A = this chain, B = another copy of it.
Amino acid sequence: MRDISIATPSKIVMLVIDGLGGLPDPRTGRTELETARIPNLDALAEKGICGLADPVVPGITPGSGPGHLALFGYDPVEFNIGRGVLEAVGIDIELGPEDIAARGNFCTIDASGVITDRRAGRISSEKCAELCKILDGLTINRVEIKVYPVREHRFVVVFKGEGLVPDVTESDPSRTGVATLDIMSLRPEAAKMADVANRFIQKSKNLLAKYHPANMVLLRGFSRKPQFPTMAEIYKLNPIAIAVYPMYRGLARLVGMNVAATRTTIADEFATLKETYREHDFFFLHVKWTDTAGEDGDFARKVRVLEEIDAALPALTALRPDVLVVTGDHSTPAVLKGHSWHPVPVLLCSEFCRTDGVTEFSEAACLAGGLGRISSTQIMPLAMANARKLTKFGA
């Protein structure tokens, strides 16, 4: 890709509707997309070429990290982001290249040290913030330890110091009824990390003793910020991310995107697109609320968000991007109340896309689309090709 990509003035907009794909409401037999009135998306589907994309491989339910990396053209199995780093990215923490991040849970242990609740009864986010303050700022063996609240029982620990290597085991046994695990180094260089982490856990236990049910911590996903090749290096693009939630801005930063200032509504995001349109040639535009509604099992709300996106769409199409891609990072069917493995509808609109017979944007219609069933990692090459940003491979 690096060898055949060229910089051109043409513009690609990738509208990512988080959790786009769905499943039928058992009462109507129609999915969220099939229920929503989305005349603008339908018109794009008719004009463009459609298909279904698998973010990882069929059957695999991706998290937000793999789902987005695939859309940016990075093999999500090869380009793995540690859980700790992803969590840090999700709350906008800037990690240094040597920092190690871990995901933490407050949990409950009994008098003998056995875990009775891995989520400490899902304490409130306020309580979490209060407890994080107690643990924050320790220094162990000249390693500075920062603790940041996430939500409910979740937090992030960042270890800052010399000679830290993330190859250690987790303290979370992933079940109750047993004690927490000692963290062990997986190679000799990681001995210091394991030692510091174990001492941090012991100190946390002491500091939290009187805060039942949140009287212990579990740590997992020790990881360092990955050094991915940037989208500028691979595609010779000058990309910008327009996203409301920190997680998606953070993922975009990991692949070297610029990140637009945060605003809050779909209309705001489309306005940001217009404002930044001259300066960039690739636009990752992320809409979160379809996924949130799906996660909440709120079919009707997911339908409404789809309709809201559709209503805002003319502001995007008025810019007449050379290539417009509309897809999702994964499916989040309301009936499953969570991410799922189902392939995601995708439409690509350009002058040279070779349209198909699809006239509406839905799971069923995309099944007959001209893109067929593709891997989400193939969307970027297709967008690049349609934007005439790829030269020939071989003579």
Contact = CB atoms under 8 A, between A and B. Distances in A.
A341 B23 contact: no
A211 interface: no
A62 B385 CA distance: 12
A277 B278 CA distance: 61
B372 A52 contact: yes
Contact of A385 (B24, B341, B380, B381): B341
Of A24, A59, A64, A333, most buried by chain B (CB within 10 Å of CB) is A59
Q: Is the interface of A mostly helix, strand, loop or mixed?
A: loop
Given A335-B352, A341-B385, A352-B335, A394 B57 contact: no
Interface in A358-395: 363-364, 367-368, 370-374, 378, 380-385, 390-395
Given A378-B57, A394-B65, A356 B364 contact: yes
A314 interface: no
B342 A354 contact: yes
Contacts of A371: 58
B66 A394 contact: yes
Interface in A53-69: 56-67
Interface residues of A, number: 57
Contacts of A333: 352
Interface in A323-362: 333, 335-336, 339-342, 352, 354-357
Contact of A352 (B4, B23, B363): B23
Nearest to A342: B354
Interface of A: 4, 23-24, 31, 52, 56-67, 76, 80-81, 83, 86-87, 333, 335-336, 339-342, 352, 354-357, 363-364, 367-368, 370-374, 378, 380-385, 390-395
28 contacts: A4-B60, A24-B355, A58-B374, A58-B381, A58-B382, A59-B380, A59-B382, A59-B390, A60-B381, A60-B385, A60-B390, A61-B385, A62-B393, A64-B395, A66-B393, A67-B394, A76-B393, A80-B394, A81-B394, A86-B395, A336-B352, A340-B352, A340-B385, A341-B381, A342-B354, A356-B364, A367-B368, A367-B372
8 smallest beta-carbon distances between A and B, as pairs: A59-B381, A63-B394, A372-B373, A66-B394, A341-B385, A59-B382, A59-B385, A63-B395
